[in-house]
Amino acid sequence: MSTGGRTLVAERGGALGGSLRVPGDKSISHRAVMLGAIADGTTVVDGFLGGADNRATIAAFRALGVAVEGPDENHRVVVHGVGRDGLRAAEGPLDLGNSGTSMRLLAGLLAAQPFDTTLTGDASLTRRPMRRVTEPLATMGAVIETGAEGTPPLTIRGGRVLTGIDYALPVASAQVKSALLLAGLYAQGTTRVTEPAPTRDHTERMLAGFGYAVERGDGWAAVTGGGRLTAAEVDVPADISSAAFFLVAASIIPGSELVLEHVGVNPTRTGVIEILCLMGADIREENPREVGGEPVADLRVRAAELHGIDIPEALVPLAIDEFPVLFIAAAAARGTTRLTGARELRVKESDRIQVMADGLNTLGVVAEPAEDGITITGGPLGGGRVASHGDHRIAMAFAVAGAVADAPVTITDCDNVETSFPDFAGAARAAGLAVREAGPDEY
């Protein structure tokens, strides 16, 4: 899924040092706009991630009749809530760009509206599986048409009465769980979602923050329809998924010591820290605190000798977006790292198992893909030209690889880095990484 656009070059530089606050959490930023839109009153969001994915969510709600200000230069967004029944039909399809979270959560939120909505996206998003949300939503009474193979565009037929269901998720997915809970706000009775393994629980926490009762038990969450949400103040922590690039870079570049400030360390997101520590990393959580219902800490990371591990499958959903850069850590580690139970990586913005294996092979690393994972043998990294396939996390992962490679790593198709990490190259340089835009003769 080539999107063309920018090419980045990453080279060996010095040790990383100082402190850095990476941009706001993408998952929390999406949810703040969604819940703010259907709440009563005005929601103020600070630390909002102004990446393309979250801007797609804002644009969708504006098209649905919600006044949203920002994000401004201080990363503030103000959402003028229209109340649970205040959304209006959009004039045309909602283009959600590259953002799977926007599409799946909106499918749930819009399933019980009195009007039709069509959701579409870019070349990557329109290849991603949507039956995982449309099928359980249909069981609740929704009518949602998909393209061939259950892919977008989705056309949601309005005017349906939804009934709560008790649903056991076949795959561990926070997007599916969230879609059903959001539909459940509008359903008759109780919607209960049980997950096979814990996934990020930002929806549950934020619903509670907006005054909506969420029942939670061991592995399940439930809402009862018919209630109202009250506007809230949301303080979005820095995104651990963006911090992950620097956790790995500072771990593998000798002499590094870096502090990542105000990072969200919700236990449903900290698999990357646990996996790196199992590999021998030196990462400490400092100044732990709670901000707006989400745990936050400063992360101090020092360079360490990493070694290969068998990644415990229980940690997979807790680190699901961090595997591209964890594979770089594995390539720079001594010995072999094995990942299993991670088939989901094949249906992200790209097939993250195959695309990472191809790029690592290009850099001379032995990486053997399997249906549900990969085996990577650590060793010296060479330079070369790798294709990110328009996948932001692949592009940034290989930018970290360049810092320990023998020769420059050139990464193509990097426009989508903007989806989750605006000015990644600038932040990387501030921390000490040698990442730059390719010159005209390097494309």
Ligand X SMILES: C=C(OP(=O)(O)O)C(=O)O
Ligand Y SMILES: O=C(O)C1=C[C@@H](OP(=O)(O)O)[C@@H](O)[C@H](O)C1
Burial state string for 182-200 with b = 16 or more CB within 10 A and e = fewer than 16: bbbbbbbeebbbebebbbb
Q: Per the annotation, does 27 bind a ligand?
A: yes
What the block records as the tokens of 332 is 């720079």
300 is in an annotated binding site: no
Among 7, 29, 99, 416, binds ligand X (CB under 6 A): 99
Q: State how far the Cα of 119 lies from the Cα of 107, in Å rounded to an integer.
A: 8
Does residue number 420 form part of the binding site for ligand X (CB under 6 A)?
Answer: yes
Q: How far is the CB of 318 from ligand Y (least distance, A)?
A: 11
* Least Å from the CB of residue 17 to ligand Y: 29
Query: Is residue 100 a known part of a binding site?
Result: yes
> Residue 99 binds which entry of ligand Y, ligand X, none, with Cβ cut-offs from 5 to 8 Å by kind?
ligand X
389 counts as binding ligand X under rule CB under 6 A: no
Per CB under 6 A, 101 contacts ligand X: yes
Q: Which two tokens stand for residue 10?
A: 């990453």
Q: Which of 348, 360, 400, 431 is in the footprint of ligand X by CB under 6 A?
A: 348
**C-alpha 165: how far from chain center:** 27
Find which of ligand Y, ligand X, none residue 174 binds, CB within 5 to 8 Å per kind. ligand Y
Q: Nearest distance from residue 48's CB to ligand X, in Å? A: 16
Judged by beta carbon, residue 124 or residue 224, the one nearer ligand X is 124
CB-CB contact of 151 with 296 (8 Å) = no
User: Of 62-70, 98-106, 327-335, 380-388, which segment contacts ligand X by CB under 6 A?
Assistant: 98-106
Does residue 274 interact with ligand X by CB under 6 A?
no
Is residue 337 close enough to count as binding ligand X by CB under 6 A? no
Select 7 or 173, whichever has its Cβ closest to ligand Y: 173
> Restricting to residues 180-239, which ones interact with ligand X according to CB under 6 A?
none
Is residue 107 within 8 A of residue 137, CB to CB? The reply is yes
Q: In whole angstroms, give the CA distance from residue 50 to residue 404.
A: 30
- 269 contact choice in ligand X, ligand Y, none (CB below 5 to 8 Å, kind-dependent): none
In angstroms, the CA 432 to CA 97 distance is 31
Interaction between residue 351 and ligand X (CB under 6 A): no
Tokens of 279: 């590999």
Is residue 16 a contact partner of residue 430, using CB atoms and an 8 Å limit? no
Stated length of the chain: 443
State which of positions 292-321 bind ligand X (CB under 6 A): 321
Q: How far apart are CA 55 and CA 238, in angstroms?
A: 17
Query: Does residue 348 have a known ligand-binding role?
Result: yes
Return the structure tokens found at 223.
């809402």
CB of 107 to ligand Y, least distance (A): 13
Active site residues: 321
**Binding region for ligand Y (CB under 6 A):** 27, 101, 173-175, 178, 200, 320-321, 344
- Nearer Cβ to ligand X (162/244): 244
Confirm whether residue 352 is marked as ligand binding. yes
| Contacts of residue 439, Cβ cutoff 8 Å, sequence gap at least 6 | none
**251 known member of a binding site:** no
Residue-by-residue DSSP string for 7-49: -EEEE-----EEEE-PPBPHHHHHHHHHHHHHEESEEEEES--
What is the radius of gyration, based on Cα positions, of the chain? 21
Residues in contact with ligand X by the rule CB under 6 A? 53, 98-101, 321, 348-349, 393, 420
| Positions at the binding site | 26-27, 31, 100, 128, 173, 175, 321, 348, 352, 393
